[in-house]
């Protein structure tokens, strides 16, 4: 049986112990289940923001013209069975550190439009796409931001053609963050 | 008395070449220049250096009204716009109780035909508004890749008139842009033709456009 792999994007803008722990829990849980894992610590990588030039669609199809670490992130993401975003929930979405890498993933889809349900979206470029897990850390409960974060993960999964997506929301001082992460991973990695 | 409007452009294409700036200019038609001082800031540049970020915070803090215009990027705002607001919110965290409360209006545009695909990004903007201590003054969320029909132009001007006269963007104006600017199928067919043409202009075949460099 093929070993399954996960690509974990650590979107912490600086050292945040609770996010470091979350990354460790994700890696440990997957390791115990026989997965291979790679962690991309985005704050230590040179990643320029997307220029909005669409060259990745109409000049160098499938690859961003900016030659930096975002290319490696996109390559690792599309080769994985599971893509995990770990981020402080920032205004109900991702940190700018994570978002920079996510914005540079549009080469993974085609420019062409199609219908997904009743909505227009871009066609997939590759035959398969990783499932998506969003692990978000919040200082405290905030229903509005939690709703936005869940919606964002769900919308991203539609746009990147993920077959399944899950969200795990952690709150600083959570007594047992590992259990929440394990439960979310079980959902999103179920065959 | 002169009032200050700061226009924050969140598109990488900046103040000259972006749909965000072009749409903002239509909306700003209603602003009387003898009443309003209008400053434009490109957020990608504002996060490029400490000085530029400090200027952003100072301008935002002194504004009566902020118009934030950006394209939808992967269901949210472009990363540099998020970074800019991370800095603004951090800088305003310890503001005094009597600090000015700028009004905050948002103009989003997306490359999909359905304006409702901006919904998550609009919600993120509302959270930003609260976190920064702004007063939410409404949003206009457009679909259709910057396509401006008469109906869209009218809505932009109505929104501008409301904001210039001290009112939030009205529900009626927002309703005006809720419908797609053309039939969805037409947008899909026309859009796909446009991508093929752009690729051809770069010397690419139809097949090359489908390349999978990471296989």
**Contact across the interface for B75 and A61, Cβ inside 8 Å:** no
Q: What is the pLDDT of residues B198-214, one digit of tens each?
A: 999 999 999 999 999 99
CB contacts < 8 A (A, B): 142
Quickly count: other Cβ atoms within 10 Å of residue A181's Cβ: 25
The DSSP-derived string for B100-138 is ---EEEEEEE-SSS-GGGGHHHHHHHHHHHHHHT-EEEE
Q: What distance in Å separates residue B188's CA from the closest CA in chain A?
A: 6
Q: What is the pLDDT of residues A64-95, one digit of tens each?
A: 999 999 999 999 999 999 999 999 999 999 99
Q: What distance in Å separates residue A5's CA from the closest CA in chain B?
A: 16
Q: What is the pLDDT of residues B149-166, one digit of tens each?
A: 999 999 999 999 999 999
- CA B72, CA A152: separation in Å to the nearest integer? 12
Of A18, A151, A48, A99, which is closest to residue B81 (Cα–Cα)?
A99
pLDDT of A105: 98
pLDDT band, residue A191 (cuts 50/70/90): confident
pLDDT of A174: 80
Contacts of B199 in chain A (CB under 8 A): 57-58, 61
Contacts of B44 in chain A (CB under 8 A): 49
Q: What is the pLDDT of residues B88-110, one digit of tens each?
A: 999 999 898 889 999 999 999 99
Contacts of A51 in chain B (CB under 8 A): 12
Q: What is the mean pLDDT of the segment spanning B22-36?
A: 97
Reduce the DSSP state of residue B212 to 3 states and report it. Answer: coil
For residue A102, give the nearest of B74, B188, B211 by CB distance: B74
Contacts of A111 in chain B (CB under 8 A): 195, 209
Of B79, B156, B51, B135, which is closest to residue A96 (Cα–Cα)?
B79
Q: What distance in Å separates residue B12's CA from the closest CA in chain A?
A: 5
For residue B78, give the nearest of A49, A115, A159 by CB distance: A49
Mutate to test the interface with A, among B120, B133, B203 (most CBs of A within 10 A): B120
Q: What is the mean pLDDT of the segment spanning B129-144?
A: 97
- CA A60, CA A107: separation in Å to the nearest integer? 9
Ordered by start, the domain boundaries in chain B are 3-180, 183-215
Q: What is the pLDDT of residues A19-53, one digit of tens each?
A: 999 999 999 999 999 999 999 999 999 999 999 99
Q: What is the pLDDT of residues A105-163, one digit of tens each?
A: 999 999 999 999 999 999 999 999 999 999 999 999 999 999 999 999 999 999 999 99
pLDDT at A1 over 70: no
CATH number at A128 reads 3.40.50.360
Reduce the DSSP state of residue B6 to 3 states and report it. Answer: strand
**Contact across the interface for A52 and B11, Cβ inside 8 Å:** yes
Q: How many domains does chain A have?
A: 1
For residue B76, give the nearest of A99, A108, A121 by CB distance: A99
CB-based contacts of A173: which residues, under 8 Å, 6+ apart?
Answer: none
Please count the CA atoms within 13 angstroms of the CA of A99 that sit on its side-chain side: 26
pLDDT of B97: 86
End-to-end CA distance of chain B: 62
- Chain B residue closest in CA terms to A151: B120
pLDDT of B63: 97
Contact (Cβ atoms closer than 8 angstroms) between residue B24 and residue B56: no
For residue B195, give the nearest of A57, A103, A114 by CB distance: A57
Q: What distance in Å separates residue B147's CA from the closest CA in chain A?
A: 16
pLDDT of B177: 94
Q: What is the mean pLDDT of the segment spanning B54-69?
A: 97
Mutate to test the interface with B, among A64, A91, A98, A111 (most CBs of B within 10 A): A91
- Chain A residue closest in CA terms to B116: A119
Superfamily of domain B3-180: Flavodoxin domain (3.40.50.360)
For A36, the domain range is 5-189
Q: What is the pLDDT of residues B65-79, one digit of tens each?
A: 999 999 999 999 999
CA dist list (Å): A95 to A29, A49, A62, B34, B77? 24, 13, 25, 39, 11
Contacts of B85 in chain A (CB under 8 A): 91
pLDDT at B129 over 90: yes
pLDDT of B135: 98
- CA A126, CA A130: separation in Å to the nearest integer? 10
Q: What is the pLDDT of residues B172-186, one digit of tens each?
A: 999 999 999 999 999
ipTM of the modeled complex = 0.97
Average pLDDT, chain A: 97
């Amino acid at each position: 049986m093929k070993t399954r792999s996960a690509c974990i994007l650590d979107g912490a803008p600086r050292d945040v112990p609770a996010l470091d722990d979350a990354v460790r829990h994700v890696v440990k849980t997957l390791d115990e289940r026989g997965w291979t894992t790679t962690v991309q610590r985005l704050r230590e990588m040179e990643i320029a923001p997307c220029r909005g030039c669409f060259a990745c669609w109409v000049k160098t199809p499938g690859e961003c013209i900016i030659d930096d670490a975002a290319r490696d992130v996109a390559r690792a993401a599309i080769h994985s069975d599971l893509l995990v975003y770990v981020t402080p929930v920032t205004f109900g979405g991702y940190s700018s550190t994570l978002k920079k890498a996510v914005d540079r993933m549009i080469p993974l889809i085609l420019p062409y439009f199609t219908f997904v349900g009743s909505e227009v979206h871009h066609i997939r470029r590759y035959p398969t796409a990783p499932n998506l897990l969003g692990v978000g850390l919040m200082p405290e409960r905030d229903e509005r931001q939690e709703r936005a974060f869940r919606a964002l993960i769900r919308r991203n999964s539609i746009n990147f053609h993920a077959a399944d997506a899950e969200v795990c929301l952690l709150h600083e001082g959570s007594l047992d963050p590992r259990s929440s992460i394990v439960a979310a991973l079980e959902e999103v990695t179920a065959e | 008395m002169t009032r200050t409007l700061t226009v924050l452009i969140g598109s990488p294409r900046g103040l000259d070449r972006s749909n965000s700036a072009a749409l903002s200019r239509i909306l700003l038609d209603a602003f009387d220049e003898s009443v309003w001082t209008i400053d434009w800031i490109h957020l990608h540049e504002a996060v490029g250096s400490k000085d530029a970020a400090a200027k952003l915070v100072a301008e935002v803090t002194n504004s009566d009204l902020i118009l934030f215009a950006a394209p939808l990027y992967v269901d949210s705002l472009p990363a540099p716009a998020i970074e800019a607001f991370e800095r603004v919110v951090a800088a305003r965290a310890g503001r005094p109780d009597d600090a000015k409360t700028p009004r905050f209006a948002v103009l989003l545009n997306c490359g999909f035909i359905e304006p409702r695909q901006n919904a998550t990004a609009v919600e993120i903007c509302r959270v930003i508004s609260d976190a920064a201590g702004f007063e939410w003054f409404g949003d206009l969320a457009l679909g259709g890749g910057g396509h401006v029909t008469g109906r869209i132009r009218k809505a932009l001007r109505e929104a501008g008139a409301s904001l210039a006269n001290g009112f939030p963007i009205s529900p009626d104006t927002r309703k005006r842009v809720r419908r797609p600017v053309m039939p969805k199928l037409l947008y899909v067919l026309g859009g796909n033709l446009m991508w093929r043409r752009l690729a051809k202009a770069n010397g690419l075949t139809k097949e090359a456009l489908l390349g999978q460099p990471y296989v």
